[in-house]
Amino acid sequence: MYGVLMSTQERLIDTTRDLLWERGYVGTSPKAILQRAGVGQGSMYHHFTGKQDLALAAIRRTGEELRATVDRLLAAGGTAYERIEAYLLRERDVLRGCPVGRLTMDPDVITSEELRAPVDETIAYVRTRLAEVVQEGVDNGEFGPHLVPRDIAATIVATVQGGYVLARASGDTDAFEAGARGLLALLAPARTPSAD
């Protein structure tokens, strides 16, 4: 499963990320991590003090990747609307859910200040970046001046996370896609009729 070039530490982090996404914190046992990563117990404790330390590294890595994806999409060329559209419609494994958002539903992660911190930081970062793009749209007249960028950013994040929940509940990605299309329709800049 893993190439020989990936270090043991990286394999442990990568495996833990997958298991957290699939099973949550409680379901991610050290035994399952070691088996899937194909490493011995000594390797885990050589690099990490225990399960929580490894989970923290995995959660941080997941957050870093999400922030990098958001930055890539929102820093690309195009209008503010087009960049928000790119974020909402990007390819994602909808039925698997958001690897960060799912952690918010894990009681063991949320009750641990240490594990919760990178989750909260990542969500706050996404909201801040989205708010900056909405503000650009307001400043350049693309969006109406009545829009509050922080509120719109929160709405975008809520639509994405709620879309994951609805899609997983129904087993159908259309629930996610419908939410994204609906939000984009609400955000679409007003088109002035052409004078023929």
Q: Round to whole Å and give the CA distance between 19 and 33.
A: 7
In this structure, of 31-35, 136-140, 187-191, the range with the lowest mean pLDDT score is: 187-191
Q: Round to whole Å and give the CA distance between 160 and 125.
A: 15
Q: Round to whole Å and give the CA distance between 9 and 7.
A: 5
Look over the chain and give the mean of its residue pLDDT values, rounded to a whole number: 92
Residue with tokens 């390819």: 91
In the predicted model, what is the mean pLDDT of residues 1-9?
66
For residues 153 and 125, the answer to whether their CB atoms sit within 8 Å is no
% helix, strand, coil for the chain, step of 5: 75, 0, 25
- Domains parsed from the chain with CATH numbers: 60-187 (1.10.357.10)
pLDDT at 93: 93
Residue 38 clears pLDDT 60, i.e. is over it:
yes
Q: Give per-residue pLDDT as tens, 73-98.
A: 999 999 999 999 999 999 999 999 99
pLDDT-based confidence at residue 18 (cuts at 50, 70, 90): very high
In the predicted model, what is the mean pLDDT of residues 134-151?
96
